Each structure stands twice: as structure tokens, then as C-alpha cells.
Amino acid sequence: MRPLALIALLFVAGTAYAADSCLAIIGTGNVGSALGARYSALGHPVVYGTRSPQSGLVRELVRTSGGKATAATPGEAAGRCATVFFAVPREAAEASLRSLGNLDGKLLIDVTNPLKVQGGREIALPVTNSAAELVQQWAPGARVVKALNTVNYVVMANPGIAGGPVSVPLSGDDAAAKAAVADLVRALGLEPIDVGPLRTARYTENMALLYVSQFVGGRQGFDYHLRPRVSPSR
């Protein structure tokens, strides 16, 4: 795994993304907290975007994240950074995204899934295509990549507990944007795999429904490892 600090400059649609540039983490739930802490430990300035940046819980999250972690309102966090992780509950996604302001040219990594857990069971929220495609619709100028939505937050925090490789499917319409996200994924100790355009998020979001159903149902659970097929030599 290459240290994040050593990754070369990444270019997305003419915008340079430096290896040590700040990352906005929109959402301070389990997923946002895990990602923020890991990337802060890897040397990134992390800005948590939250409606209550001065609350005790958020201040403690910033303290335990260490490094250059800070907190701000969601709009302020997204405004400061070229790369934005979007990790909010699905039912709040549209309002939250629209509160971020102008995202044109930014790398927007959608970690959401069209589901929620209520009454001890998972409930899929109706979408006509995928949550990622709706995110792109709401932020048409952003470079949207679907990623990390099929990985449990505890594995994001410590990939070693999986006992082996963990795959992270990447869906997006911009090849350079996916390459940038692939490096961010590798820095976490996970294995990115490009599965195609943004519409393939329809399938990876259903992969997430499957793995969440295992945990909610009290089953053992699992992590995805997708092994690329090697074409036989001719």
C-alpha cells in the first residue's frame, strides 16, 4: 500500500488534487467518523461537515482524530476542500447536498446507500435508478464517484479485522476521478475495482443491501473480495 503522502498529484478535469489536500467529510456518523479518523492519521487535513460543529460529540471526534482535523458547517467544509466525502443518512441526502453550495469541479465521493434500519430491519428507500445517480443529478457539476458503500465502517477503521483483502467497487463516468478515488481507497488498505460508469451503482447499492441484511438479521456477516478474472493466454 502506498502512503497517501507519497501519492503523486492527481488531475480531475483540469483540477489538481494534491496528495496532502484537505478532505471534507460530510456526516459524522459511524462511516464519516471512521473515514475522517483514518485519513487524518494518514496526514490529510480533514474537515468534518456537520450542523453542530461546536457540539461536545463533534469536538471529541476532532480531538480523537488528531492531526489537522477540524469541524465546520457542511457548506464551509465543502467550500474549503477539493475532495468531498458524502456520508449522510439517505433520507437526508438531497437537502444535505443542496446545502453544500457550488460543487462544480469537485471530486464528490458518494458513500450513501438507499436504505435505513428501522425496528431492527433494513428498509430500502425507493429510487428509480441509484442514489449515486440522484447525487449527480443534484450536483451536476461535481465529479461523482460511488465508493466505499459496500464496506462496513469497522473495516474502514481497521481493514486487518477482515482477515484478507476487501474490495471496493468504484462507479463513475470520469476515469480520472475514479483513478483519484482508487488511490484514496488503497491508502486505507482496501482494494479498489473499477466496475464501470455511474449507473453501475445500481448494482453495488444492492450489494450493500445484501451485506447490511446479514448484520441486521444477526448473521455472521461478510466482506466482499472481488478477484478480477485473468483472461487465458492464447
Name which of 115, 177, 117, 102 is nearest 146 in CA terms: 177
In this structure, is residue 234 part of a structural domain? Answer: no
**Does residue 54 have a pLDDT over 80?**
yes
Tens-digit pLDDT profile for residues 144-171: 999 999 999 999 999 999 999 999 999 9
Tens-digit pLDDT profile for residues 81-131: 999 999 999 889 999 999 999 999 999 999 999 887 777 777 777 888 999
**Does residue 51 have a pLDDT over 60?**
yes
CA-based radius of gyration for the chain? 17
In this structure, is residue 11 part of a structural domain? Answer: no
**Does residue 9 have a pLDDT over 50?**
no
Tens-digit pLDDT profile for residues 218-229: 777 899 999 888
> What mean pLDDT do residues 163-187 have?
97
In this structure, is residue 59 part of a structural domain? Answer: yes
* Confidence bin at 1 (pLDDT 50/70/90): very low
**Does residue 19 have a pLDDT over 60?**
no
The total number of structural domains in the chain stands at 1
Residue 233: the pLDDT is 65
**CA dist., res. 40 & res. 4, Å (int):** 11
Tens-digit pLDDT profile for residues 208-219: 988 888 877 777
Question: pTM score > 0.85 for this model?
Answer: yes
In this structure, is residue 91 part of a structural domain? Answer: yes
Tens-digit pLDDT profile for residues 125-151: 788 899 999 999 999 999 999 999 999
In this structure, is residue 125 part of a structural domain? Answer: yes
Residue range of the domain that includes 70: 19-216
**CA dist., res. 208 & res. 164, Å (int):** 19
In this structure, is residue 186 part of a structural domain? Answer: yes
Q: Residue 73 belongs to a domain with what CATH number?
A: 3.40.50.720
